[in-house]
Structure 1
Amino acid sequence: MYESTINFTFDTICPWTYLAKHRLDKALEQVCTPETSQKVTFTLKYHPYQLYPTFSSEGEPKYDWYKRTKYPTDDQMEKYIKVMTFQGAGEIPFNFREGYIANTLDAHRIIQYFQESKSPEVTNKLVLALYKAYFEEGKHPSSAETLIAACKEAGIDEEEAKRVVEDESEGLMDVKSAIREQASNGVDSVPVVMIEGRRRDVTLTGAKEVGEYVKALEQVVKESQ
């Protein structure tokens, strides 16, 4: 059996990476049948990328930031919200009116730390919990409260979560190194999904439709023998 790693480069405050993750999950549900699972297994590995590394840890209101930097009029902002609502297709209820946008280094630090010490399933739940908290519930993307709650939702012991979250040096050098590695690999935007294949790797940049992820996964399955 061939074991394929799906390398997912993302930022927890990038809506397009949330869409890509959601669509990739749906594609995996379609492709990973009992028959294909005898040929290949897919494991997600998360790689950190910061779209805005100079953001403060406190941040600023999300809605205000989008208006100030991207959509300066009420009409433009409302159009953007409608576009993202459409992209979410009723499955991701994007919330751009509440919450703060802020530096994501601590969020990535926590994800990378537990990715090294827990199962892929736990890491996946942690990432999804952080996405949901930020994009749907209007929570701060990297406050201690948000991070600990996401860890608990992923099944991580609360005391362990508190220890890692509150010790800001825990895993810091490792996550900074991982971020630099992505930059050295030429990553300058997210999401980037690279699926390792026996014969060749498949790389998809940007949030693709479910069908495109299905096609890429099926190619890896086909070439796994």
Structure 2
Amino acid sequence: MKRKILSILTICLLLGLVNIEATTKILAADDSKSGDVISDGSYVGIGSSHYIAGDNTANKGIRCFLTFDLSTLPAGANISSAYLNLTSSTLYGDPFGDLGNMVLEQVRYGTSLTAGDYNTPSVNYICQYVSKPTTSKNVTTAVKNEFSLGYNRFQVRLRFTSKTDNNGDFDRIVFSNPTLTITYTAGVTSATLQTNKSTYSLGETVYFTLKNTGTTDITSNDVNPWVIQKYIS
């Protein structure tokens, strides 16, 4: 059977009513699931817009955990970019000089932060900072993967390579209002495709390739002349 491919450009012109404009959302950290954990499990801090990584005067390590809620993204959203902004932060002591680099890694600790999450396994290493963050970090691949796997949250941990320098002083970085900025296009849920049916043979299958939706097969037998219609879900 003869097949024809209609170009994406042609289809886009025919789909004048389909909105595929990009949307950008700035997500604040979910305070109910974000916080910091001390290495000996003696303290778990949640419910604040300030999050800590470093050590304390008792020479205990502190790790920072952040959760961003992805459930507000529409099903089938095509994420084009995601940036984690940690630039709003303050240093106390000399954490980068005394505790080494700060590691950013993806984790999955679920719906609540507990003492045991201090050592929860890393899902994905993202990067290391040698000094206080001054620009947003591109985390597009990690966020896209998490969303495509069906997870409704993106979670990260920040920790220094050394737990403490044992000097009895605070060495820490405190993050205030970290954000995750996501740009996406919503998947098309329905559309009407039009073409001149007279250019195709009776019963011929026409392949319409739509950006963000994949390919749908439409047979010209059961439609009115000049118009081919198909709902895409």
TM-score bracket relative to the smaller structure: under 0.3
Greater helix fraction, Structure 1 or Structure 2? 1
Flag the structure with higher strand content.
Answer: 2
TM-score, normalised to structure 1's length? 0.28
TM-score normalised by structure 2 residue count: 0.27
From the CA coordinates, give the structure whose radius of gyration is larger.
2
